Chain A
């Protein structure tokens, strides 16, 4: 772990002769790597007490990047460090695909790691999700919600039974094939060609994606879409059942986007520097 740290505190000798301490710590640009995740851009003004080291209540920490196989950015985590060393997360929120992934209460045990947590997906952008697949010519628009139950299995984070659903009908999926796929479609007009034509300008009424797999390895996405293309067979209804297998982690580990510390955390750091009480 690496970080820029400023601290001030008090050391008190208790009546029984033991020592107790309390420290206010300003953490800037912290980074850490564990078996399950790589974390960067950690900022926070936190209060620690000990021994053993713990926080007297939930502390707010900003996280620029938590790479759990899929990069989660712009995180805001409210958590308590318990005397037993476990981190009790009260709530956490990360930006993802134009929306957010949020978690309720969860416990991260340093020995056991993360056992299980369900991330709620809010208002994800279908276009950004399709962009993760890095399939040339594929684009879309629409908003999705859902749940992604994540558990640690054999040393890796795994999604089991995750579901994302369209918020409302009226979204679009468009596929403009590359020359090579276009040639394949022309050679197979009765199957692939039909599919390509149907999705040249597809308007969905229902969309559901079931997600399973290991975050840093193969993910399987079973996509069920129902809708129509007004320019294809007079708008005849089309149902697509697509099984997509991809190593998303390899595809989405693009360069880190610029990151700004959230105002709530920045204010706590300013208060620390100026010797004020944190809000």
Chain B
């Protein structure tokens, strides 16, 4: 890898300063789309790393009653845009 890089620099040195400048200009044009690409906004949505915590009490009788932890209920009520 290092040797390849050394040869490229040697060739630029042999063709003289003007061609070397033109070569660098072409390289800059070639890299432009990459630069523009890097400016595009990200579309992937990354999930929050912190877990959703659910507390439930279930009593199985003849009917099923589900009670959600009051604290959790308050949290959801106060931060409706949390998700």
Contact = CB atoms under 8 A, between A and B. Distances in A.
Interface in A228-262: 233-247, 251
B47 A236 contact: yes
A239 B53 CA distance: 5
Contacts of A192: 66, 68
17 contacts: A181-B64, A188-B68, A190-B76, A192-B68, A195-B56, A233-B48, A235-B47, A236-B48, A238-B52, A238-B54, A243-B56, A244-B60, A245-B58, A245-B59, A246-B59, A246-B60, A251-B60
A109 interface: no
Given A184-B66, A195-B56, A243-B58, 18 more contacts: A135-B60, A181-B64, A191-B76, A192-B66, A192-B68, A194-B54, A195-B68, A198-B52, A236-B47, A236-B51, A237-B50, A237-B52, A238-B51, A241-B54, A242-B55, A244-B58, A245-B57, A246-B59
Contacts of B58: 242-245
Nearest to B63: A180
A186 interface: no
B54 A195 contact: yes
A233 B54 contact: no
Interface of B: 45-61, 64, 66, 68, 72-73, 76-77, 80, 83
Contacts of B52: 194, 198, 233, 236-239
A167 B57 CA distance: 25
Contacts of A160: none
Nearest to A136: B64
Nearest to A238: B52
Contact of A237 (B45, B49, B68): B49
A233 B60 contact: no
Interface range, A side: 20 to 34
Contacts of B47: 233-236
Interface string A125-165: 00000000111000000000000000000000000000000
A226 interface: yes
Given A234-B45, A237-B49, A245 B60 contact: yes
B74 to A, nearest CB: 10
Interface string A158-185: 0000000000000000000000010010
B82 to A, nearest CB: 9
A239 B54 contact: yes
A233 B56 contact: no
A184 B58 CA distance: 14
Interface in A207-235: 226, 233-235
Contact of B55 (A188, A241, A246): A241
